[in-house]
Structures are given as C-alpha cells and as structure tokens.
Chains A and B, each alone.
Chain A
Amino acid sequence: MKPRAETLLTGALLLLLGWLVMVPAASVLVSGADVTALRRLLSGTAILTNTLLMGAATSLSAVAIGAALALVMARTDLPGRGMLEPLTLLPLYVTPLLTAIAWSWLGSPRGGLVNLVTQRLAGFSLIDLHGAAGVVFVASLAYAPVPFLLIAAGLRAMDPSLEDSARVHGASLRFAFAHVTLPLMLPSALGALVLVFVQTMGLFSIPAVLGVPGGFTVIATEIYRLLNTYPPRLGQAAAWGLVLLAITLLAVLLQNRLLAKRSFVTITGKAFRPRLIAMGRARWLLAGFVWLYIGLAVALPVATLIWASLVNFLTIDPALMAFDLRHFAYVLFTYPKALMAARNSLLLGVVTASLIVALSLGAGWVVVRRRNLGATAVEYLAMAPLAIPSIVLALGVLWTYAGLDLLPIYGTVAILLVAYLAHFMPFGVRALSGALRQLHPELEDAARVSGAGLLHTLRRVVWPLTRPTLAAVWTLVFVLTLQEVSASILLYTSRSVVLSVAMFDLWEAGTLNGLAALGVMQLAITFAALSLLARFRQRGVAA
C-alpha cells in the first residue's frame, strides 16, 4: 500500500524530533556515564546540594508567589485587575540575566546602590544579594509568572458549582476554600512546581551573576567553568550534565506518579466565570502585594537598567551624575561584538520561531488527529525537552557536533538553532495541540473530500484557522530566543556570539554601562515584537 501523506508526515517528524531531542540526550548519557568520575565529582563538594537547594527553594517560593497572585487575580475583587494581570506577566519578557545583573547593582554587599544609600544615611549595609539567598530571591521573582499562569488557568477552569455545593451543604467560605478549592488547585500547583524546578535546576544566568561572587556554585555554573578552563574538561562537564538530567527526570516521573493516583476531573474545557470574593478593605492590601511583586520583579530592575544605560557611571551622588547616550554609541560603534550579536540573535530568533511554528503545526496536528502509536511517539519526543534542562541539552548538542564532520555546524549559529529547536518545541506543540483541539475535525474532513490533499488542507484550512495561536507562538519563541543564556553560553564561538552572550561577556569584562545599554536595546526589540503581536491580535478580532 502506498503510504498516505499522514504516515509520511508522522515518519518525518519522528526522524526529525528523534534527531533533535534523543541524539543530544543520548550523547550526554553515553559521555557522562563514568561511575568513578561521577563518584569523585559528588564527594566533597557542595555543588550538588547547592543546586538542589536552589531548585527546591526557588520552585517552592515561585509557586507560593504565583499561587498567591493567581488567587488574588482570579478570585478576589482586586482593584485594577484588568491592568495588573498583564503587568504580572512582564517578568517573562525580561531575561533573568538582566534582572540578576540589575539586582546585583542594587544589592551587592559593598558596591550595591541600596547599600551605598543606607551606608551614607545610617552607616550600615542593608542587603546582601550575593550568595544563595540572592539567587533564590531573584529566581523566584523571575519564575513566578509560570505558576501564576498555570494556577490561574486551573482556577478559571474550575466549575464554581463545586464550591457552591460545599457552601450549600454547610461549609463556611474558609472551610470550602480549604477543603474544596485548595485540593483542586493541587494538580496545577504541582505541575508548576515541577516545571519551575526543572527549569531552575539548569539555570545558569542568575547563579553566575549573584551566586558565584558569593561563593555559591551550582551545577550549571560548574559546567560552564569546566568548559572554559584550558584544556576544557568535557567529560567532567558531561558527568555533571548526567547528574542534572537524572534529577529532572526523577522529578518529572514523581510528578506523573503523584498525579496518576488521583484523577481530578475539574477541567472540562468549558470556560467558567469564577466567583469573585469581596475582600473589603483587605483588597487594597492585596493590591499592594501585587504592586510590590511587579516593582521588585520588573519595575525596579528595568528602571535601574535604563538609568545605568544613560548615566556616566554607577554612583549615588547626584552631583557626579551626567546623562548622555555615549554607552549606546559605545555598544553600537566601538564594542565589536554587539552588531554581530544583534544580527545573529535576530536571525536565530526569526528562524527558530518560524521553524518552531511549522514543526509544531505538523506535530500538533499529528498528536491531536492521528492518535496512533506514531502520534504517541511524536508527542513524547516533542514534550521530552520539558524534562531536560537547556544546559544539559546544549552539552549533548556540543558533544554530538564537536567532532562530527558529517554535519559541520559546530562553530556556526546553526548549532545554536539545533539546541533552540529542541528546547522550545514543547511550548509550541502544547500551544498548537490546544488550538487544534478547539478546531472541529470535520472542517478538515470537508477539505479532504473536496479534493484537497493533506498539505493543501493544512495550508488552506488549518493554518488560517490557527493563525492567532501561530502568531503568539512565533512572537513568544522569538522573544525567548533573544533571552536564552543557558544553552547559548556553551555553544557560541567567536563567530556565533548572540545578544545574551554579548551581555554576559560585557558583565565579565565589567563594562557595566555598556551592558546596560545593550540590555535596554534588547528590551526594546522584545517589546516592539510584543506590540506587533498585540496589534495583529486586535486586527484579527476586528476582522
């Protein structure tokens, strides 16, 4: 039988995803599996406990902040909810690297601006963000929007009659909340916890900026150090990568076990209007909490960054401050890497986003519509990177291509593309499968019996009907690509520097104002892309 186009598509995706995901994972497994090296690695060092501490503390406090924000935003009569919600998501669009750098300017024990002010006024230093506490503080702020989004979505999909029936049967508001709402929130909170845990386990930028100066080393910064010593110790780095991978896989398996035991059928796909709880005077307190979060996570760091990009040098003495654009001029015209980095980043952003959109349309379609063994395999492969920290992925990619003459992409931007594609694939496929589930399959059947082949149907029916989702995925992947540090930092070479790497380079060189200027430019590109998306969405609604 001549294979149908559907079968060919599934097969092609299996090959491509297998190559993108399984090959790097397998090469970390092969190159890192050295028992004696692993034992030596793990004895007599605090790196593993540091990493676990960072992952656990960050994910717990990020979920606590995110859950509180979600409850306040979705279930109370908070003043200004409509405006506060998008502001709460802003930390997603500011790379953690910049947030960490801004906070280190504010809160380093000696030169921190906050401490300089308190020194002058009261004679003591107020805060010390160098070390574990600073890393966890900034990482929790940066990652809180993820649990916020997941838990708020869970709350909004919860049938309010579940709570109503508790009230009718004699439960007080407090009792109903504790015994009905909270337990029903658990799955989404647990999902968010594991997601943030996996992401922070491989986090490089924040511990590199705030942890290392305070003597707090984690696996990601150790992998970076091992690869940047001479000669690079790739084997040891891979062993650390394997340790990281083992931990994250364990966390995901544990989550699946916990969620498989209890089945919560609260999410019916219907959109409910959650009941808002009148908080009285306390709502102003809650609004204050939300504003405090936005201030600490975005407003203060970004304001610091903008100020630093314009001021002549970092000082708290108003008499010494002078403002001009010389740092922008330096970055654009004198610093050799900036333009190349910007070009590489934009190119990678556009290509990654476009390929992710195309691949997730295909993979999402196969996952939602085919539902056979091949489709299940496609789904697992596409979602697997969720359990692989991006620095581990990058290690695998590095190990795979460093000596591979067959595909000589090492040292080019293509090797970054390979890592980005795998890293952002779950996000795209999840978004597209969601959109495709909303699409009645008979819309496609009608095209097929009308004489359109599979590709024609995808292009003329599925593509136009999922365009809002595709546009959102494109924009977000573009933005996230510009921000990516953990994988890029291992894979770049002098010819393939990207913006985030250039910023880290400026940070290590101590060119602080130039770094601020580059950071401001990156934020400008990000928000230009987001506002284009917003305009596209408005037009889509009007049409």
Chain B
Amino acid sequence: MTDAVRVEELVVTYGPVAAVDRVSFQVREAEHLTLLGPSGCGKTTTLRAVAGLERPSGGRIAIGGASVFDGARRIDVPPEARGLSMVFQSYAIWPHMSVAENVAFPFRARGVANSVARPAVARALALVDLAAYADRSATMLSGGQQQRVALARAIAFGTRLVLFDEPLSNLDAQLRLQMREELADLRRRLGFAAIYVTHDQDEAFSLSDRIVLMRGGRIEQQGTPSDLHAAPRTRFAAAFLGVRNIIDADIAHGHATLANGLLLPVRDDGPPGPAAIAFRPGAVVLGRGTPATIERVLFAGDQLQLLLRAGPVDVIAYARPQSGLEEGTTIMWHVAAGDCRVLRE
C-alpha cells in the first residue's frame, strides 16, 4: 500500500537558518499524524511545505505515491495541483463570498460542473451542521461557525489528504473540546489521511494515531500517543509532554542516586553514569518512603499541587484537595520503579 504522504530528508531554509532540518516521516492511508512542538520548532513550515505553500531547499515529498517535490530531480508541483485541502489557523474564510460559495470554491477552481458540486457542498455543510447557513455571508458567522465552514471547505471535495494548521487554537476552551471530538468523528467517517499541527499535547494525544514531536527544525521523537506518553526519550520530550519532575541523577545497577543522596529504584539496563530521571507528578505516592518538606501548596481545582523539597531536590506531586496538607510540614513520598524513566539525552 502506498503512503498517503511520504516526507524524506526535508530541508526548508530562511536565509542562513534551517527552519526544517532533514525531517522524514510517513502518513499512512486514513491515518492521523500530528506534528507537535513549541512555536518555532518548524512544524507549521513542514506542513506548508507539504501543501506547496513553502518552497523547500532540499528533500522529497510524495503525496499518494506521486512525487510533488524533489530537490534533486527538480520537481516542484504548485499547491493547486497537489490534490489536498487544508484548514488554516485563521480559518481563511473569504469575506466576499457566502458560506456555500466558500465551500464550493474547490470545485469552481478545478472546473467541476455545478451539478456535481452542489450536492457535495450541501453534504459537507450538513456534516458540520451548517446546512441552514448556506446563503449567509461568511463574515456574519461566529468564530466557531467560521471554523466549521473551513472544515466543510476542506472535506467537501473529498481529497484523500487534509492538512490542519492549529485549527482549534483560536477557539475558547469549551468549544475547543467539542470541535476536537467532532473532528475525530468526521475523520473516522470520511477516512481521509490528516497531518495536524498543534502545540497542545492534550490535543495531540487525543486526536492522533501517531505523533511526531519536533524541536528546532528536527524530529525529537515519533510514535503512538501512548508510546510517547509512557516513554519520552529525551529531557525535552519529557518536559514538553507534561513530565514535570526531571531530576539529575547518577544511575548504577537499577538505582538512581539523587543530589540529596536519596536512592530511587529504576528499571534500566543501560550503562551506568550521570543521567536524569523523570516521573509525572501523578506517579508520586505520598505517605511512605523518604521525608520531604512541603514548600508550597497550590489549589488547582481537582487536586492540590505540592512542591516538595528534600535538600537540593524539588519534586512536584499531586494530592486530593481534602487531604489537609499544610505548607512547612513534613511528608513521606516515593516513586515506583516502573513509573520512573531514565533519560540519557
């Protein structure tokens, strides 16, 4: 089976700066791949290079088996001939067209007959619950509705590949959760392949089949959401994916020695030496183990967030809101060996 998208050794430079530096990945048919990373990591540039909106300086891009960019073979297919669609961060709804005209644009631009376009447009608008808005001016819609128009425009033509550039980042928190579910549902029903750019790890975890984590123009790590969640390979990956405790330690014989002399058991068969251990606040078990002082208690809604201090080592842990813990008191804590990762990079 051919891949929906195959990106090999992609390089995009702005002057002397490489915004994307030898990035390779594949997207299989009907797969949702997320490019995740902080701003400036090259994820949007990569996406725009796939769309043909950014011109790479090297590498290869193939869509559905057909080469659309190849630096060595001097192939560069313009965006309009790549046969994909895209949802933009700003929605990019044309204000001089009605909702239906916006959605019908991909048909008109490609010279498709009205008799074919009209039912497809109606179907797409129905899928995003905007059937009643077809003749409205696009500028009269709310942000969420404009987002739906952008979505309808991207799925109406039925391209096998849809690109998403931080599509939910301009919506408020509640709408964002709702659209996330609708998006996942829509993709399952229509079965297109998606490349999705976001800086929000929750969004990436909940929507993706596979995640490519980027940093400084390069791929830091890629894998399924559960792989990445359970086993970040580097300090950066761990920190970006919400592992709040990353502590320098000496690793030897299944134990990590922290700066305060504390020994923690770890499951690790790598070479001994200096490294770091990483564990999520939720993995910290309170009530037994070694002592630490509660430096600060922050009320965070569903839970209390504690800053524990044991000598030079700070640890963040969670506790139930009713637990009655107070700043300045001492508490016992430990982490199970299975919850503690050793990071050597």
Contacts and interface: CB of A to CB of B under 8 A. Distances in A.
A446 interface: yes
Nearest to B85: A449
A19 to B, nearest CB: 28
A451 B76 contact: no
B96 A445 contact: no
B235 interface: no
Contact of B53 (A445, A450, A464): A445
Contacts of B94: 443, 446-447, 461, 465
B48 to A, nearest CB: 8
B89 A450 contact: no
Contacts of B82: 449
Contact of B84 (A442, A447, A449, A452): A449
B78 interface: yes
B166 to A, nearest CB: 11
Interface string B213-229: 00000000000000000
A132 B323 CA distance: 92
Q: Counting chain A CB atoms within 10 Å of each CB, which of B53, B80, B84 scores highest?
A: B80
Contact of A446 (B74, B78, B92): B92
Contacts of B85: 449-450
A4 B76 contact: yes
A446 B109 contact: no
Interface in B67-121: 74-76, 78-86, 88-90, 92, 94-96, 105-106, 109-110
Q: Counting chain B CB atoms within 10 Å of each CB, which of A2, A445, A452 scores highest?
A: A445
A454 B78 CA distance: 9
Contacts of A5: 78
Interface in A451-507: 451-454, 456, 460-461, 464-465
A453 B79 CA distance: 8
B78 A448 contact: yes
A460 B75 CA distance: 27
A446 B153 CA distance: 9
B110 A448 contact: no
B105 A452 contact: yes
A8 to B, nearest CB: 12
Contact of B80 (A2, A443, A453, A465): A453
A536 to B, nearest CB: 15
A228 B53 CA distance: 56
B33 interface: no
Interface in A4-38: 4-5
Interface residues of A, number: 22
Interface size class of B (residues with CB under 8 A): 20 to 34
B78 A450 contact: no
B58 interface: no
A440 interface: yes
Nearest to A448: B79
A320 interface: no
A454 B53 CA distance: 12
A465 B94 CA distance: 9
B76 A449 contact: no
Contacts of A443: 92, 94
Contact of A465 (B76, B86, B95): B95
B105 A445 contact: no
Contact of B92 (A442, A452, A464): A442
Contact of A452 (B52, B76, B80): B80
Contacts of A451: 80-81, 83, 106, 109-110, 157
A4 B80 CA distance: 12
Contacts of B81: 451
A4 B78 contact: yes
B163 to A, nearest CB: 7
Interface in A149-205: none
A394 B186 CA distance: 64
B51 interface: yes
Contacts of B90: 440, 442
A465 B96 contact: yes
A1 interface: yes
Contact of A450 (B74, B95, B153): B153
Contact of A453 (B78, B84, B89, B106): B78
Contacts of A464: 96
Nearest to A445: B53
A451 B78 CA distance: 9
A450 B76 contact: no
B105 A447 contact: yes
A446 B76 contact: no
A443 B88 CA distance: 9
Contacts of A450: 80, 85, 105-106, 109, 153, 157
A67 B195 CA distance: 55
Contacts of B92: 440, 442-443, 445-446
A204 B256 CA distance: 88
A457 to B, nearest CB: 8
B86 A446 contact: yes
A448 B81 CA distance: 9
A443 B89 CA distance: 11
A447 B85 CA distance: 10
A124 to B, nearest CB: 65
A393 to B, nearest CB: 36
A170 B150 CA distance: 52
6 contacts: A442-B90, A447-B109, A448-B51, A448-B78, A451-B109, A451-B110
Interface of B: 48, 51-53, 74-76, 78-86, 88-90, 92, 94-96, 105-106, 109-110, 150, 153, 157, 163
In the complex, the 3 A-B pairs of residues with the closest C-beta atoms, listed nearest first: A452-B109, A446-B92, A442-B92
Given A449-B53, A449-B84, A450-B157, 8 more contacts: A445-B48, A445-B92, A446-B150, A450-B80, A452-B80, A453-B78, A453-B80, A456-B109
